[in-house]
Amino acid sequence: MASSWWEIQIGADPAAEELLFWRLQEFGCRGMVSESRGNTYTVKAYLPQVKSQQLDLAALALLLKQDLLCAELPAPIVQWHLIDEEDWSKSWKDHWHPEPIGDRFLINPAWLPIPETDRLIIKLDPGVAFGTGAHATTQLCLEALEMRLDNPPPGTIIADIGCGSGILSVGAILLGAEKAYAVDTDILAVDATKSNVELNELPPDRLIVEEGSLDHLKEMLTTPVDGFVCNILAEIILELIPSFSDISKPDTWGILSGILIDQVKPIADRLEEHGWTMAILWKKQDWCCLNIRRA
């Protein structure tokens, strides 16, 4: 794990939150947090020093400015500096608190006591992986999983493509899925998912995670899955759609998120080309979650 981190601090209009989170996620930032104080809105994001140089951060600042100006919002104020790992950990963890999601879940940071609740508790320490439950795309996926796994038949198998912290896979198991297969191209995300499997006291043979993408997932599977989740960037989803059928049965369903509203049409068109149809579309702020099934 990196010993030094870039702390990127952005002051912006509150309406820019989703655009900021999308751009920072695409850039590779981890452990993003936001806070509002009066009329001041600030987003802080963290990136291992080895991942970017000063020129990369300057380019990011320019992209953020372009994003907000195109959305007819005031230009952001972007600053960055280096912090050590201990300061990084404390800085974003201090802002993260238990969060109810949907009707059944409660995301509880691993370092906080477990509250009394009837909800399903996902204990989470994302480490440096994306997926704390705070982002709209993750929340949409968990809510969609509640619907899909309301009363899952015995032996239900799901796949998690781009698992991040493993929050969706863990949630699926808690809802009653028999087994989850998870992949991510980032080895740090794989490590975070393995840690969260242990943290939630799940048998390791029920949530199997390995480094890779959809091609590697196909090698891991011994049978097609009953459903899959894919909460990553829309551009990557477009590339993966032709291979969804390789892991699916005729009645397999899918949950896709990480998609902005203006990115829905090209994804829906590509799904139709490859034998899928959009059954339900859910929206939260500027983000969408597509529930899909075989056509």
**pLDDT tens digits, one per residue of 190-217:** 988 999 999 999 999 999 999 999 999 9
CB-based contact 289:282 (threshold 8 Å):
yes
Shared-domain flag, residues 59 and 183: no
Exposed e or buried b per residue across 217-240, where buried means at least 16 C-beta atoms within 10 angstroms of its C-beta: beeeeeebbbbbbbbbbbebbbeb
**Counted domains in the chain:** 2
Shared-domain flag, residues 134 and 215: yes
Query: Which residue range is the domain that position 8 belongs to?
Result: 4-93
Shared-domain flag, residues 60 and 176: no
Instruction: Give every CB contact of residue 82 below 8 A, 6+ residues apart in sequence.
Output: 4, 5, 6, 7, 49
3-state secondary structure at position 39: coil
Shared-domain flag, residues 134 and 264: yes
**pLDDT tens digits, one per residue of 87-115:** 665 665 666 778 899 999 999 988 888 88
Give me the CATH number covering residue 57.
Answer: 3.30.70.260
Q: In this structure, what token pair is assigned to residue 82?
A: 């280096």
Shared-domain flag, residues 89 and 121: no
Shared-domain flag, residues 25 and 58: yes
**pLDDT tens digits, one per residue of 131-149:** 566 778 889 999 999 999 9
Shared-domain flag, residues 114 and 25: no
Shared-domain flag, residues 137 and 42: no
**pLDDT tens digits, one per residue of 32-88:** 777 777 777 888 888 888 888 888 899 999 999 998 998 888 999 999 988 887 666
Give me the CATH number covering residue 165.
Answer: 3.40.50.150
Whose tokens are 């936001």? That residue is 34
Fill in the DSSP letter of residue 114. P
Inter-axis angle of helices 17-27 and 54-70, to 10 degrees? Answer: 150
Shared-domain flag, residues 74 and 145: no
Which of residues 93, 120, 140 is at a domain's end? 93
- 1 pLDDT above the threshold of 50: no
Global pTM value: 0.75
